[in-house]
């Protein structure tokens, strides 16, 4: 099978990581893969911030978790089963947002083309991580840190920037099973 197709089919969202540090050259390869993503008008509207420091990750968690819990309350009535599953994680895990991943890569974008282009960089990075034997996970709740002035300063966020990620990276303790997939809905013309 084609290596790219195989990576796409086998990549999973990993939420359990070994505490092993990832060598910087490997993180740089992953970032370079993100930088190779297509972008509208070749705008390349992204920049990357890598967080490895445990104290900074604790600050990120402190900023993200209250916002994630607010969103979870919205899910409570709409999808009770999912609510119970996530609420259980919040009770059991020390870090139910970043899953204690050794590296958290924030993809930060701005400008007219960021909404279309930055997610492509994220996907490239997750596929690159998988191809290098690492696990990854895109965590939307992890981006809910922008209300905290200290975190905004650490990430050097300016007025028009948004977080498109973050992407968790680490050596997986295991890979989740493949979730059920719907058949693609295709119309040929």
121-148 pLDDT, tens digit per residue, is 999 999 999 999 999 999 999 999 999 9
180-189 pLDDT, tens digit per residue, is 999 999 999 9
Q: Are 167 and 136 in contact (CB under 8 A)?
A: yes
- Of residues 78 and 30, more confidence is placed in 30
pTM exceeding 0.95:
no
Domains of the chain: 8-170 (3.40.109.10)
Residue 140: CB atoms within 10 Å: 14
Q: What's the confidence (pLDDT) of residue 31?
A: 98
Closest among 109, 105, 106 to 39, alpha carbons compared: 109
pLDDT at residue 41 greater than cutoff 90: yes
Percent of the chain at pLDDT exceeding 70: 100
Residue 8: CB atoms within 10 Å: 13
pLDDT at residue 175 greater than cutoff 90: no
* pLDDT tier at 165, thresholds 50, 70, 90: confident
Q: End-to-end distance of the chain based on CA atoms, in angstroms?
A: 29
- How far is it, in rounded angstroms, from Cα 7 to Cα 169? 16
- Residue 130 is classified by DSSP as H
pLDDT at residue 39 greater than cutoff 90: yes
Q: What's the confidence (pLDDT) of residue 10?
A: 94
- How far is it, in rounded angstroms, from Cα 26 to Cα 1? 25
90: tokens are 């919040």
pLDDT at residue 74 greater than cutoff 90: no
Q: What is the mean pLDDT of the chain?
A: 95
- How far is it, in rounded angstroms, from Cα 98 to Cα 56? 12
Exposed e or buried b per residue across 60-92, where buried means at least 16 C-beta atoms within 10 angstroms of its C-beta: bbebbbebbeeebeebeeeeeeebeebbeeeee
* pLDDT tier at 102, thresholds 50, 70, 90: very high
């Amino acid at each position: 099978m084609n290596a790219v197709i195989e990576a796409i089919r086998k990549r999973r969202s990993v939420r359990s990581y070994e505490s092993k540090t990832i060598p910087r050259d490997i993180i740089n390869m992953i970032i370079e893969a993100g930088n190779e993503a297509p972008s509208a008008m070749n705008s390349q509207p992204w920049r990357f911030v890598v967080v490895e420091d445990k104290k900074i990750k604790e600050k990120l968690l402190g900023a993200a978790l209250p916002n994630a819990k607010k969103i979870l309350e919205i899910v409570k009535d709409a999808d009770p089963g999912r609510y119970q599953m996530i609420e259980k994680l919040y009770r059991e895990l020390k870090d139910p947002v970043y899953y204690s991943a050794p590296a958290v890569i924030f993809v930060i974008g701005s400008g007219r083309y960021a909404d279309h282009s930055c997610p492509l960089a994220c996907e490239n990075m997750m596929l690159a991580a998988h191809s290098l034997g690492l696990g990854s996970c895109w965590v939307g709740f992890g981006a809910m840190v922008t209300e905290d002035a200290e975190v905004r300063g650490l990430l050097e966020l300016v007025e028009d920037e948004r977080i498109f990620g973050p992407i968790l990276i680490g050596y997986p303790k295991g890979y989740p099973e493949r979730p059920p997939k719907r058949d693609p809905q295709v119309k040929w013309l």
